[in-house]
C-alpha cells in the first residue's frame, strides 16, 4: 500500500480544491480543470455582536440560495459530468473545497485575489472592517459589526451520491482523518483565524441540505462560545481537567471502546439521548498535532463506533459529529482535542426537540440515563476485525 497523496487545484472562480487520494487508490494522478464559466463570489458575510451575551452572529444571506436536497443526477458534490457541472471536476477519493456560499470568507483583498468582484470590474461591496484581534471582539457595545473573516470548506467523504462515513473502507476513513488534520494545520495558519472546527451533520433531522456523504470545516475569527466556556471551566477547575475526565470515565460503565491511544465513552452528564465523547490518551491541542499511529487507531475505532450507531435502529441515525479543538493562538496546553458525537434520536420514531428549557435557557433535561445509552451502544458496536480494540465493560 502506498501513501495518502494530496493534490491541490483551483476552481474556475479561484476557490481552492484539494484532492486526497487513498493510500490504495485506483485513480490516476492527474485531474481535469474546472470547465465552468467563472462566477462572481458573494460578498463576505457580516458579523453582528449580541450585546446581551457578547457573542458574534454571522449574517450570511448568500446561504439562502444554496441547493437543498437535489436529485442524484444534479448532485453538486459528485464528480462532474456533461449533464452535471458540479463543484468537483474529476473522480476522487476524498475532496475538499472552499464553500461557494460561506458563513465566513476572505477579506476584500482575498476576494480580489481570487478573482471575485474585481475580476468582473464591479465595485467591491461595502463591508465593515475585519476584526483586529480577540481584544477587539471582546469589547461589548451596541451596534457593533465586523466582517466575517475566515473560511468554510466542504469535505466530501466519497464520490457516491448516497452512503455514509460508517460504510467507507478503513483506508478511506484514514484518508478522511488525514484531510481533517491537513486542513486544520492549513486553516490555523490563515491570518485572522482563531479556531478551526471540523464537523459532520448527518441526516435530514439534523438539517442537512445534501444527501451526499460529506462534512464541513469552519475557520472562525473568534474563539467559539462553547470553547470560551470550557476555558473558564479550566480556569476554575485547574489544568488537569481532561486528564482527570479521562481517568474518571475509563473507570466507569460508560466506556464503549478503548485502544492504546483513544477512549470512547458516554459522558457522565450526557445532554443528548445519544452522546459519545472520544478523547486521546495524551494531551494534543488539535488534529494537526496527532501522530500517524494515533490517526491510524482513531480511523479503526471511529468506524466501529459509527457502525454501532447505525445498528441501533432499522434506519440510519441522524447525528452531529464535532471536533472540539484548542484555539489557534491560546490555551494550547489546556484545551485537549475531543470528538463529540450527539444525536436527538431517543427512540426508533422519536426525536428530542430543544424546547423551552433547552432552547431558551440552555438548561438541558436528559431523557435517557447515560448508563442505559452506553449499554445499548456497547451491544450494537461490532467487534473489531483486527482485535485491536476492546469494548468497554462495567468495572469489576
Active site includes 214?
Answer: yes
Torsion, Cα of 214, 177, 16, 9 (10° steps):
-110
The Cα–Cα gap between 31 and 27 comes to 9
Count how many residues are written for the chain. 396
Q: How far apart are CA 40 and CA 119, in angstroms?
A: 8
Supply the angle between the helices 292-311 and 370-380 in degrees, to the nearest 10.
Answer: 100
Q: Dihedral of CA 210/215/218/223: which sign?
A: positive
- Which residue among the candidates 211, 212, 214, 261 is catalytic per the annotation? 214
Task: Tell me the H-state helices in the chain.
Answer: 108-113, 134-138, 170-188, 225-237, 241-250, 292-311, 361, 370-380
7 burial type by CB count under 10 A (0-12 exposed, 13-18 middle, 19+ buried): middle
Task: State the Cα–Cα distance between residues 74 and 294, nearest whole angstrom.
Answer: 37
Extract the C-alpha cell encoding 41: 463570489
Contact residues for 78 (Cβ-Cβ < 8 A; gap 6+): 72, 84, 86, 88, 159, 161, 212
d(CA 38, CA 77): 18
Q: Give catalytic residues, as residue numbers.
A: 214
Amino acid at each position: 500500500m502506498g501513501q495518502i497523496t494530496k493534490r491541490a487545484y483551483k476552481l474556475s472562480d479561484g476557490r481552492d480544491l484539494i484532492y486526497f487520494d487513498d493510500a490504495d487508490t485506483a485513480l490516476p494522478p492527474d485531474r481535469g480543470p474546472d470547465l465552468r464559466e467563472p462566477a462572481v463570489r458573494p460578498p463576505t458575510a457580516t458579523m453582528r455582536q449580541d450585546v446581551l451575551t457578547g457573542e458574534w452572529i454571522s449574517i450570511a444571506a448568500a446561504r439562502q440560495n444554496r441547493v437543498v436536497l437535489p436529485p442524484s443526477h444534479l448532485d453538486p458534490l459528485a464528480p462532474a459530468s456533461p449533464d452535471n457541472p458540479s463543484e468537483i471536476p474529476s473522480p476522487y477519493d476524498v475532496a475538499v473545497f472552499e464553500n461557494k456560499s460561506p458563513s465566513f470568507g476572505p477579506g476584500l483583498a482575498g476576494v480580489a485575489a481570487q478573482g471575485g468582484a474585481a475580476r468582473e470590474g464591479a465595485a467591491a461591496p461595502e463591508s465593515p472592517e475585519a476584526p483586529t484581534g480577540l481584544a477587539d471582539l471582546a469589547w461589548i457595545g451596541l451596534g457593533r459589526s465586523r466582517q466575517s473573516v475566515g473560511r468554510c470548506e466542504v469535505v466530501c467523504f466519497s464520490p457516491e451520491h448516497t452512503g455514509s462515513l460508517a460504510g467507507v473502507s478503513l483506508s478511506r476513513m484514514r484518508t478522511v482523518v488525514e484531510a481533517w488534520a491537513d486542513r486544520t494545520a492549513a486553516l490555523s495558519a490563515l491570518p485572522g483565524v482563531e479556531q478551526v472546527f471540523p464537523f459532520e451533520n448527518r441526516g435530514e433531522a439534523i438539517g442537512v441540505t445534501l444527501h451526499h456523504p460529506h462534512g464541513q470545516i469552519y475557520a472562525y475569527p473568534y474563539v467559539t462560545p462553547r470553547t470560551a466556556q470550557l476555558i473558564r471551566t479550566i480556569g476554575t477547575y485547574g489544568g488537569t481537567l481532561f486528564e482527570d475526565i479521562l481517568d474518571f470515565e475509563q473507570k466507569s460503565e460508560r466506556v464503549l471502546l478503548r485502544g492504546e491511544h483513544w477512549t470512547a465513552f458516554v459522558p457522565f452528564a450526557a445532554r443528548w439521548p445519544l452522546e459519545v465523547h472520544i478523547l486521546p490518551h495524551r494531551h494534543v491541542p488539535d488534529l494537526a498535532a496527532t501522530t500517524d499511529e494515533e490517526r491510524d487507531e482513531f480511523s479503526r475505532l471511529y468506524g466501529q463506533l459509527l457502525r454501532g450507531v447505525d445498528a441501533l435502529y432499522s434506519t440510519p441515525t441522524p447525528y452531529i459529529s464535532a471536533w472540539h479543538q484548542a484555539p489557534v493562538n491560546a490555551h494550547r496546553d489546556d484545551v485537549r482535542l475531543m470528538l463529540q458525537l450527539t444525536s436527538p434520536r431517543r427512540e426508533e420514531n422519536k426525536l428530542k426537540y430543544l424546547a423551552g428549557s433547552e432552547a431558551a435557557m440552555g438548561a438541558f433535561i436528559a431523557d435517557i440515563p447515560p448508563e442505559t445509552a452506553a449499554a445499548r451502544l456497547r451491544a450494537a458496536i461490532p467487534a473489531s476485525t483486527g482485535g485491536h480494540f476492546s469494548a468497554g465493560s462495567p468495572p469489576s
